[in-house]
Homo-oligomer: A and B are copies of this chain.
Amino acid sequence: MESAASSKAKVGLIGLGLMGQPIGMNLLKAGHTLTVWNRTTSRANELVALGAKLATSPKEVAAASDVVLTIVSDPPALESILWGADGKDSGALAGLKPGSTYIDSSTVSPALARKIAAACAERSVRFLDAPGELIFMVGGDAGTLKSVEPILGVLGKRWFHLGPNGAGQTIKLAMNMILALQVDALAEALALVTRAGLKGEDLVEVMQSSMARSGVLDVKAPNLLKGEYKPSFPLRLMHKDLGLALELANQIGVALPATAAARETYNYVKGAAKEDLDYSAVMKFWKS
């Protein structure tokens, strides 16, 4: 299979949020021709100033590209981009060229990933579900993955081929539920020790010296101790991903009691929040 991502590949990018913007930058720096679209057009300004072409619709991005990337916040946003807001085939799917490759890096359900894969197959388009950031979890054909490795190398530092379409999303949801539970566990423990009159900092210090150490502890403990929750990964997105994980689990009959409990705690905080918060703000359940 020929590489879909030679140095001259025409790349399309839909979704210019926190993750999409730097990806666009890197693609331009790597010398790719870039066509972009975003629901809020102004977010494209910087990339356009650097040479990206602004399309008037997702369909136009698809029609102009050999490799199309989408990175949006949730399943409805992705469905709207792919099938069109009006349900009349005005979305990106209708524009994808036979022989082109479409990569979705949003976090959505494995079922949606498989639905997209089927729609792409009808159009002779190769599809990968590849959620992630820096590290990509990839579902789909191994040859297709091979062909876009030069582009993934521009976007991140590592990727894992995990199985057929949907596999990337499944592993991503599993990862995020673990992160959500680790932060929630830390929050429960901090709530316990501080209400008992002890210092949260002491718990964190002891943890750092023990088997309870973790990446989450390094990155999120400072937020929890200071009560500062500027969004790095927004709580509303983590809450959405917990919902997707539970939806999958309930479809295939796998009970997830702790994940279900944690989801409701995130939900409680989300329901009371007046601003956008990092998911470590789950701590507010005990301090609101």
Contacts and interface: CB of A to CB of B under 8 A. Distances in A.
Interface string A248-274: 111011111111111111011011100
A42 interface: no
A193 interface: yes
Given A170-B196, A259-B185, A267-B255, A175 B206 contact: yes
Interface size of A as a range: 35 or more
Contacts of A192: 170, 173-174, 177, 245, 248-249, 252, 254, 256
B257 A270 contact: no
Interface of A: 87, 110, 135, 137, 158, 160, 162-163, 166-167, 170-171, 173-175, 177-179, 181-182, 184-186, 188-193, 195-199, 202-203, 205-207, 209-217, 219, 239, 243, 245-250, 252-265, 267-268, 270-272, 285-286
A83 to B, nearest CB: 8
A215 B213 contact: yes
Given A202-B162, A210-B135, A249-B192, A258 B181 contact: yes
Rank and list the top 3 A-B pairs by shortest CB-CB distance, nearest first. Answer: A253-B271, A214-B214, A181-B185
Copies of this protein chain in the complex: 4
Contacts of A245: 192
A264 B260 contact: yes
A186 B163 CA distance: 20
Nearest to A181: B185
Nearest to A257: B261
A258 B192 CA distance: 13
B163 A197 contact: yes
Given A171-B206, A202-B162, A209-B158, A259 B188 contact: yes
Contact of A182 (B173, B185, B219): B185
B212 A216 contact: yes
Contacts of A203: 171, 174-175
Contacts of A260: 260-261, 263-264
